[in-house]
Amino acid sequence: MRRIALLSSSALLADAVRQEIAGQADLELLLIESVATLVAQEQASQIAGIIYDAAPGAQPQNELAQLLTSESWARTPVMVLIPPTQAAGELKKVFPNIVTELSKPLKSGDLLQALDQLSQSTVELPSKTTPSPSMKSSPQEITQSLPGVTDAFMWSVSGQVEYASSARATQFNTTMGFALQVANRMGKEAELGDFTGLQIQSDEGSAVFFSALTDKKDQSQFRTFGLLMDGTADPETVMESLQAKVIS
């Protein structure tokens, strides 16, 4: 039995989907009104996929994005139902787990095909290799060689996630985006110069962000790095190692 969670508060949509899948004995549709309900009532291992209705007034994207960064839900495939006015590309930045999308209004037959694709898909944690040709080592090699580093991320100059060792990249992206804005304002207000990096430390570990040209001769090779470390890592040592590995 494939159990699909439809995350929508629209009874009309639920009816339309139910009619479409009527007769599919191996499909069970769960109408879930909120992310909180989904988490409270269902286990990730029991859900073959999530249909997210991206209609105006739908469930907040950030709540679902947050859920999909958790370890148990990170590999759950997602299908989005996209309103005519919205582009799928923007949603893919928020939900890396999107494996298929359908534009509304739904066309008969398309949904079943998309549901097959949804329930048969597996989500691999995002992990791209060597996006910056000037880097001496691949991001995976770098991450594995840095002791105490639990998560590593790399963003391009346009803010696209180019490498993520875990599905927490979305959460990091959101937090980093806000923190960078704050730090930039801080730099301007106090005339401290351009903001170049941030380090956060707690009893549990550290997080660092920094930006650098991975090739000093090529302005297009500007990258921002994010690292999450456990309490055993020394952030300064890790940063020095990382810089030595990525800057040529």
Partner 1 sequence: MNDLLDALKEVEGVIGACALDRNGGLLGRSLPAYYDDDMLVQLNRRFEELFESSEEILPQPKVVIAQFSQTWLLGRDWPGGRLILFCGPQAHVPAVKTAASLTAKRLGKSLASPAPATPKPAARVAPAPASLQRPIPGKQQKTRSGIWG
Which positions touch partner 1 (CB under 8 A)? 168, 171-172, 174-175, 178-179, 182-183, 185-187, 189-210, 212-213, 216, 228, 234, 236, 239-240, 243, 247
Q: Which is nearer to partner 1, 95 or 172 (CB)?
A: 172
Q: What is the dihedral of CA 234, 210, 198, 142, to 10 degrees?
A: -30
Q: 26 vs 204, which CB is nearer to partner 1?
A: 204
Q: How far is the CB of 139 from partner 1 (least distance, A)?
A: 17
218 contacts 157 by C-beta, under 8 angstroms: no
Decide if 49 contacts 119 (C-beta within 8 A).
Answer: yes
Residue with tokens 């899948």: 21
Q: Tell me the closest approach of the beta carbon of residue 218 to partner 1, in angstroms.
A: 14
What minimum distance in Å lies between the beta carbon of 235 and partner 1? Answer: 8
CA angle 33–37–40, rounded 5-degree value: 165
Least separation, in Å, of the C-beta of 179 and partner 1? 5
Identity of the residue, 11 or 190, whose beta carbon is nearer to partner 1 in the bound complex: 190
Cα 170 to Cα 184: distance, rounded to the nearest angstrom: 21
Cα radius of gyration (the chain): 21
Nearer to partner 1, 131 or 197 (CB): 197
